[in-house]
């Protein structure tokens, strides 16, 4: 889709740090990391929000989440938890209208991001 920043990332027109890619799904680091390793998981097909997924697309995208969660956890022994977040609509703090799932690793409060 024209003027969609995530479609441009998927097309390779805008650089990103890729975490995972297959035919249907791309995962890349968020440009503004809430914590180190903050990753966005997007369908390659442009859908604006959760309401536009059909069952097939939902299966493709959401079935990758546990594998990506494990990969993020295994990337750093200081990662002790993970938030999975999907914002839909401006009032829900969605700012990019190509649906995406945030994977936000959480670290020890005492140790910091280590």
By CB under 5 A, tell whether 5 contacts Zn ion.
no
Token code pair at residue 11: 């097309």
Residue 98 binds which entry of Zn ion, ligand 5GP, none, with Cβ cut-offs from 5 to 8 Å by kind?
Zn ion
Binding string, residues 23-62; x marks residues near Zn ion by CB under 5 A: -----------------------x----------------
DSSP string, 5-72: HHHHHHTTSS---EEEE-SSEEEEE-SS-SSTT-EEEEESS--SSGGG--HHHHHHHHTTHHHHHHHH
- Residue 77 or 99 with smaller CB distance to ligand 5GP: 99
Q: Which residues contact 114 (CB under 8 A, 6 or more apart)?
A: 76, 78, 107, 108
Binding positions for ligand 5GP, rule: CB under 6 A: 5, 14, 16, 28-32, 40, 87, 93-96
Residue 69 CB, shortest distance to ligand 5GP, in Å, is 18
By CB under 5 A, tell whether 8 contacts Zn ion.
no
């Amino acid at each position: 889709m024209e003027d969609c920043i995530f479609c441009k990332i998927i097309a390779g027109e805008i650089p990103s740090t890729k975490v995972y890619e297959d035919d249907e799904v791309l995962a890349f680091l968020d440009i503004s990391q809430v914590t180190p390793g903050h990753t966005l998981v997007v369908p390659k097909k442009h859908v604006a929000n959760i309401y536009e997924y059909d069952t097939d697309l939902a299966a493709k995208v959401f079935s990758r989440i546990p594998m990506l969660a494990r990969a993020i956890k295994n990337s750093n022994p200081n990662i002790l938890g993970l938030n999975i977040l999907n914002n839909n609509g401006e009032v829900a703090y969605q700012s990019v209208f190509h649906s995406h799932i945030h994977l936000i690793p959480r670290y020890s409060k005492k140790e910091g991001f280590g």
